[in-house]
Amino acid sequence: MSTDFTALCLGNPGERYAKTRHNAGFFVAEQVARALSCRLRKRLFSAYCSCYCPPLLVATPLTYMNRSGEMLRPLARRYPTPTGRLVIVYDQMDLPPGVIRLKRGGGAGGHRGVASVLENCSEQQEVLKLSVGIGRPPEHMSITEYVLSPPDDSEATLLSEACRRAADVLLRLRSEDESTVMSEVNRRDQS
């Protein structure tokens, strides 16, 4: 079984983290699954949940964020993905809440979940990265506390809208030219 492209949507499993900023990738995965009338399911003895609706495979890790890349090898055994057709969806503090960005290549930018995925890629892939802005923490709050807490009401509205738009980007990438989608997304969301 092969797939045309895979979206790795990052977050932390469990009820404790369900509504936190760090789970933006999970929110996007849920939106895509709903749009495709598909359900994210845990595979037996696997470190991920997945939903396959050709040509798109959506996967979320069942490991914690910093170990997200551990799902790549078992996922690749079940669903081989062509090089370059991997999209990492994750939260990004360097973007204001509600802004999304799509880019190809580059490093992890300090995001440990992205770093884990990049470290576990089978070869040097220039993966696509779809980031969802969550903004920076206030001065009195640590980064960890910030990303692992739920957004306030106004931020939650912005985050929800951004996740909806990010899900739409993944759906568009099924049939539209990557550079066109990227240009439109990044132009619309210039901060």
25: left (phi over 0), alpha (psi -120 to 50) or beta: alpha
pLDDT of residue 85: 83
Strand-pairing partners, residue 61, are: 48
Q: 88, 130 in Cβ contact below 8 A? A: yes
In angstroms, the CA 151 to CA 130 distance is: 20
Structure tokens at 23: 């789970």
Alpha helices (runs of H) in 18-138, residue ranges in sequence order: 24-35, 72-78, 112-120
Strand-pairing partners, residue 86, are: 6
Structure tokens at 19: 């509504």
pLDDT of residue 187: 87
Amino acid letter, residue 26: F
pLDDT of residue 123: 61
pLDDT tens for each residue of the chain, 191 residues long: 445 889 999 999 999 999 999 999 999 999 999 999 999 999 788 889 999 988 999 999 999 999 999 998 888 888 876 656 889 999 999 999 999 999 998 889 889 999 999 998 866 567 899 999 999 999 999 999 999 999 999 999 999 999 999 999 999 999 999 999 999 999 876 64
100-134 in b/e form (b: 16+ CB < 10 A) is bbbeeeeebeebebbbbbbebbeeebebbbbbbbb
Amino acid letter, residue 27: F
How many Cα atoms within 13 Å fall on the side-chain side of residue 17? Answer: 21
Our separate counts of H helices and E strands in the chain read 6, 7
Amino acid letter, residue 177: D
Model confidence pTM above 0.75: yes
pLDDT of residue 124: 54
Q: Could you give the residue numbers annotated as active site?
A: 22
pLDDT of residue 1: 44
User: In CATH, what class is 5-188?
Assistant: alpha beta
